[in-house]
Structure 1
Amino acid sequence: MTTTAPPTPPDTDAVAFVAALRRLKAWSGLSYRQLERRATQAGHSLPYSTAATMLGRDRLPRQELVAAFVAACGLRADQAQAWLDARVTIACGGPAEATPTARNRSFGRPGRALAGAVALVGVLLAGASAAGAFTDDVEVERTRTSLHLPRS
Structure 2
Amino acid sequence: MTPPPVPEGAAGEAAFMAELRRLKAWSGLSYRELERAAATAGEVLPYSTAATMLGRDRLPRKALLVAFVVACGLDADDTRQWVAARRELAVGAPVVRVAVRPARRRGPRLRLAVVGVAAAFAVLIGAGAATLGTTTVEEERTAVSVRAQP
Q: Work out whether the TM-score is over 0.5.
A: yes
Answer with 1 or 2: which has the greater Rg. Answer: 2
Once the two structures are superposed, what CA deviation does each residue of 1:114-147 show, in whole Å capped at 9, x if it has no partner?
Answer: xxxxxxxxxxxxxxxxxxxxxxxxxxxxxxxxxx
Question: What is aligned with 2:87?
Answer: 88
Q: TM-score, normalised by structure 1?
A: 0.60
CA offsets 1:92-114 (integer angstroms, 9 cap, x no match) = 016xxxxxxxxxxx8xx796xxx
2-structure distance, mates of 1:46, 1:110: 27
3-state DSSP class of the match of 1:92? helix
How many Å separate the matches in 1 of 2:79 and 2:57?
20
Alignment RMSD, CA only?
A: 1.8
Q: Partner amino acid for 1:78?
A: D
- Corresponding residue of 1:8: 6
Q: Distance in 1 between matches of 2:58 and 2:76?
A: 24
Question: In structure 1, how many angstroms separate the alpha carbons of the residues matched to 2:11 and 2:83?
Answer: 13
Q: Give me the whole-angstrom Cα distance separating, in 1, the residues matched to 2:47 and 2:85.
A: 23
Q: CA deviation at 1:12?
A: 2.5
Paired residue type of 2:55: G
Equivalences for 1:73-152 in 2 at 5 Å?
Answer: 73-93=72-92
Q: Percent identity?
A: 60
Q: Structure 2: where are the runs of 5+ without partners?
A: 98-150
- In the other structure, the counterpart of 1:36 is 35
Alignment partner of 1:65 is 2:64: yes
> Which runs of at least 4 in structure 1 moved beyond 2 Å after TM superposition?
none
Q: How many pairs align?
A: 96
- State the partner residue of 1:140: none
The structure-2 alpha-carbon separation of the partners of 1:21 and 1:110, relative to structure 1 and needing over 3 Å to count, comes to closer
Structure 1 unaligned residues grouped into runs of 5+: 95-105, 112-152
Counterpart amino acid of 1:49?
Answer: S
The normalised TM-score by structure 2 is 0.60
Secondary structure of the corresponding residue to residue 92 of structure 2: coil
CA distance in 1, matches of 2:69, 2:38: 9
Shift of 1:13: 1.2
How far apart, in 1, do the equivalents of 2:23 and 2:96 lie? 36
| Corresponding residue of 1:117 | none
